[in-house]
Amino acid sequence: MKSAKIITAIILAFVFVSAAALPAFAEGDTIISEVRLTVTEPKAGAAPDVKVVSAEPEKYTATVRYWLKTGSSDNKVTVFEEGCEYALVVDINPASGFRFETPQKNGSNEESPTVVYINNVKTRCVSWETETKLSRAYYVSVAEEAQEETNFFTMIINAIRDFFAGIVSFFKNLF
């Protein structure tokens, strides 16, 4: 009789420990179907900002994993260069009581139907996704510095100024 109580106690302990090991979300969790994040746009000569702002921090948070120059899988960015394209990869986690939509099989990857926008641009899936984590990539280009637009008249004036500056320089070096 005493051994039956011990066995029952062990079984109950096992049940409680197993229940505690279940995923943090429950069927009653609210599904997040859309995520909106904001990051600082890259600027030529600037270091990457690793701060990301969630539109609804009570539902989800995000962390920057890294900025990469596109076409390079191992060159993490320290300074943005003019005329280059970059990818920002972020990890997004739901808050307690929330979860992402169940990922659907998509080739060799599972992609959540949760839509993620960064700076109002729809992002792409970059890695395995679950109900408790999404990883998304945001692609952006750093524009080349705009060249001052010149008309024909300005071009002629500049050419004449350069011509006379060359003559003055020649005579200065001569004497």
Alpha helices of the chain — where are they, by DSSP H? Answer: 2-20, 152-174
**Contact between residue 23 and residue 96 where contact means Cβ atoms under 8 Å apart:** no
Give CA–CA dist 117/131, Å, rounded. 18
| Sign of the alpha-carbon dihedral angle for 137, 139, 35, 64 | positive
Q: pLDDT at residue 26 above 70?
A: no
Query: Using alpha carbons only, what angle is made at residue 54 by residues 47 and 126, rounded to the nearest 5 degrees?
Result: 70
pTM over 0.85: no
Band (pLDDT 50/70/90 cuts) for residue 167 is confident
Whole-angstrom distance, CA of residue 152 vs CA of residue 150 = 7
- Domains of the chain by residue range: 26-141
Task: Tell me the HSE value of 141 on the side-chain side, using a 13 A CA sphere.
Answer: 5
pLDDT of residue 24: 45
